[in-house]
Amino acid sequence: GAVVSQHPSWVICKSGTSVKIECRSLDFQATTMFWYRQFPKQSLMLMATSNEGSKATYEQGVEKDKFLINHASLTLSTLTVTSAHPEDSSFYICSARDLDGGEQFFGPGTRLTVL
């Protein structure tokens, strides 16, 4: 089956630093990847849609200058949380849409803790 990986699986950082999270489709190509955020005991909320070779589309209320998304290839999208603060602590999950079949597959998530 299709596999999506995320790296790192967890990260702890100091307030004010930047953190980069990678989302890779391992055995398929994805022109579109989605980034979700999940706070404790809440559902997944879409942050942005990442399209290969073009600018990401952000959901209302998500600061594009704070959450930088780069989708440089058909297998990799990165989310950089710039100047992270404790309120950015969350579980970040990506999904990748298979170019051929159209199905979406989820990564295992990255747990970010900002001290």
Segment near another protein (CB under 8 A); pick from 17-25, 60-68, 71-79, 103-111: 103-111
Q: Quick check: 49 binds another protein (CB under 8 A)?
A: yes
Q: Which is nearer to another protein, 16 or 111 (CB)?
A: 111
Q: Quick check: 113 binds another protein (CB under 8 A)?
A: no
Q: Quick check: 111 binds another protein (CB under 8 A)?
A: yes
- The whole-angstrom separation of Cα 53 and Cα 56 is 9
- The whole-angstrom separation of Cα 68 and Cα 78 is 8
The vertex-24 CA angle with 18 and 30, nearest 5°, equals 120
Contacts of 8 (CB under 8 A, 6+ apart): 21, 110
Token pair for 71:
């989708």
**Least distance CB 43 / another protein (angstroms):** 5
Q: Which is nearer to another protein, 24 or 97 (CB)?
A: 97
Block residue for tokens 């579980």: 91
Binding site for another protein (CB under 8 A): 32, 34, 36, 38, 42-46, 49, 91, 93, 95, 97, 102-106, 108-109, 111
